[in-house]
């Protein structure tokens, strides 16, 4: 397994085509806007070497028996799924941001099931290809970017009905040694911190859309792939002198639009090719796994709750009954999110491939709660923090010879609490609830792993309504036992 330094050096060897603010970056690793996101991924490597985290962050490969990072693992039992949940919460609490490896892990597990199912029907060799690829990922300890979300164009039209066929990534040419694809994948978290990109369809498909039923993996610096970094609120604070105004002084995230411009994929890296009837199942496998993965938001919630308790103490209001009650509510909501992720893991079941799958209904219930509870937790944090969370002057003002003395005088609270401590914790609350970290804590909670309505559709599909009705009719005397 790599450590953090080895991971960083592995990224320096990549020749990525990355654009930010209209210009191509010559150095992705050291760019101050992207460096915090790389640090978050590096933490998943470094912490895996610490004895106290070994049980959660490492596991024996079911292919080779060698010790590997859990992010490269295929779940072998419900215990693996439970440890995945606990790992997500742990890393969220230690980074307070998205650590960017869950999507790749979930893509690997979804493909381990889907490729087996396709082979069973068609006698193809996708699963063998996939397992060879998986062993390579495990051996090299690689970060995989799971790329599912197409840009979609006109949502009222199927892929083949779009005015521009590239609105969904698709096969444009079939060659003797592989295929050529074109399109784009949006909202790609941690894309430029990844060694590999794993592409999957984004929706269930019909026969007319079979050219869009394609899954494959490529090195992230493959010719024809371009990354365009998305903006985040307050992102330019990372370019300022000083650290206080950043909020989170160590970690962050990034998202990118990833463009595939006539990219060649060799056959050994293709895991689905026009088997359109399996696209929907692959999407559901991935989505269920990824909806479980939002235990990471529980970890970020832990940090936000800790910051809220701290600012209440700094302000001298920690004993007020309404403040205590609000913090209890924050903890209640946060632990409820954790319960959902644990439940869908504990109720997991073995698929024909041998891979353990989460309980789909409970995974969707878990993610539905994630679309709501972090917003309430953030609201309560802002309530307790007070208006200063959005009116606080800058770190430069704090250090200004002219006005710094007034900030230190008028923004002090309890005796013994340095003013800059109050400033630092307020900036962290701002960062998580409305700054760059809010992308991962709030907006990602809403739209990550599918929109809220997507989960509601799955809940309606998975609930056994006929059994509920039958029991009600029996107990009310409408039907006999």
Pick from 104-113, 165-174, 351-360, 429-438: least confident: 429-438
Helix (H, G, I), strand (E, B) or coil at 297: helix
Q: Mind listing the pLDDT tens digit for each residue in 367-414?
A: 999 999 999 999 999 999 999 999 999 999 999 999 999 999 999 999
- The CA distances from residue 74 to 125, 131, 133, 149, 427, in Å, are 19, 10, 13, 22, 39
**Domain residues of the chain, as ranges?**
4-276, 291-475
pLDDT beyond 90 at 106? yes
β-bridge mates for residue 58, sequence order: 69
- pLDDT band for position 100 (50/70/90)? very high
Share the mean pLDDT of the chain: 97
CATH topology classification for 4-276:
Butyryl-CoA Dehydrogenase, subunit A; domain 2 (2.40.110)
What's the CA gap between 245 and 397, in Å, rounded? Answer: 11
- The 10s digit of each residue's pLDDT in 212-270 is 999 999 999 999 999 999 999 899 999 998 999 999 999 999 999 999 999 999 999 99
278-326: per-residue pLDDT in tens? 999 999 999 999 999 999 999 999 999 999 999 999 999 999 999 999 9
The pLDDT value recorded for residue 438 is 83
Confidence (pLDDT) at 436: 85
In the predicted structure, residue 346 carries a pLDDT above the cut 90: yes
Close Cβ partners of 209 (under 8 Å, ≥ 6 residues apart): 158, 159, 160, 168, 276
Residues acting as catalytic residues: 98, 102, 189, 255, 290, 294, 296, 444
Q: How confident is the model at residue 439 (pLDDT cuts 50, 70, 90)?
A: confident
* CATH code given to domain 291-475: 1.20.140.10
Please indicate whether the domains covering 4-276 and 291-475 agree at the CATH topology level: no
Counting every residue, how long is the chain? Answer: 481
Question: Averaged over 206-213, what is the pLDDT?
Answer: 98
Q: Say yes or no to pLDDT of 440 above 90.
A: no
Indicate the pLDDT class of residue 442, thresholds 50, 70 and 90: very high
Closest CA relative to residue 299, chosen from 97, 89, 474: 89
Percentages (nearest 5) of helix, strand, coil residues in the chain: 55, 15, 30
């Amino acid at each position: 397994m790599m450590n953090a330094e080895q991971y960083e050096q592995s990224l320096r060897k990549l020749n990525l085509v990355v654009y930010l603010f209209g210009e191509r970056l010559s150095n992705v690793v050291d760019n101050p806007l992207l460096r915090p996101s790389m640090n978050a991924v590096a933490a998943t490597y470094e912490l895996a070497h610490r004895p106290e985290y070994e049980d959660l962050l490492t596991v024996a490969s079911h292919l080779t028996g060698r010790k590997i990072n859990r992010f490269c693992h295929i779940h072998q039992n419900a215990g693996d799924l439970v440890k995945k949940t606990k790992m997500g919460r742990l890393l969220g609490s230690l980074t307070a941001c998205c650590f960017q490896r869950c999507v790749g892990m979930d893509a690997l597990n979804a493909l381990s099931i889907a490729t087996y199912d396709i082979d069973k029907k068609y006698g193809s060799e996708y699963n063998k290809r996939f397992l060879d690829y998986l062993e390579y990922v495990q051996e090299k300890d690689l970060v995989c970017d799971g790329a599912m979300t197409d840009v979609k164009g006109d949502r009222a039209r199927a892929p083949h009905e779009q005015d521009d066929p590239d609105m969904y990534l698709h096969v444009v040419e079939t060659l003797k040694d592989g295929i050529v694809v074109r399109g784009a994948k949006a909202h790609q978290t941690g894309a430029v911190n990844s060694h590999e990109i794993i592409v999957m369809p984004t929706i269930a498909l019909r026969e007319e859309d079979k050219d869009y039923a394609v899954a494959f993996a490529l090195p992230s610096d493959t010719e024809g792939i371009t990354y365009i970094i998305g903006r985040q609120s307050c992102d330019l604070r990372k370019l300022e002198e000083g650290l206080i105004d950043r909020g989170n002084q160590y970690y962050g995230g990034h998202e990118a639009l990833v463009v595939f411009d006539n990219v060649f994929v060799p056959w050994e890296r293709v895991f689905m090719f026009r088997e359109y009837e399996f696209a929907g199942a692959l999407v559901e496998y991935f989505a269920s796994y990824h909806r479980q993965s939002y235990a990471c938001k529980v970890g970020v919630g832990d940090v936000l709750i800790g910051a809220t308790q701290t600012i209440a103490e700094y302000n001298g209001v920690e004993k007020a009954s309404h403040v205590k009650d609000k913090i209890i509510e924050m903890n209640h909501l946060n632990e409820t999110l954790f319960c959902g992720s644990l439940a869908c893991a504990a109720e997991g079941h073995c698929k024909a491939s041998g891979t353990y799958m989460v309980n789909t209904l409970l995974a969707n219930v878990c993610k539905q709660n994630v679309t709501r509870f972090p917003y309430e937790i953030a609201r309560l944090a802002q309530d307790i923090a007070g208006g200063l969370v959005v009116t606080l002057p800058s770190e430069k003002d704090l250090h200004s010879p002219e006005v710094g003395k007034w900030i230190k005088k008028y923004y002090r609270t309890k005796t013994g609490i340095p003013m800059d401590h109050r400033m630092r914790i307020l900036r962290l609350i701002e960062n998580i609830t409305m700054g760059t970290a809010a992308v991962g804590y709030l907006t990602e909670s809403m739209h990550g792993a599918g929109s809220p309505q997507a989960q509601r559709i799955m809940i309606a599909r998975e609930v056994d309504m006929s059994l509920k009705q039958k029991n009600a009719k029996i107990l009310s005397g409408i039907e006999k036992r």
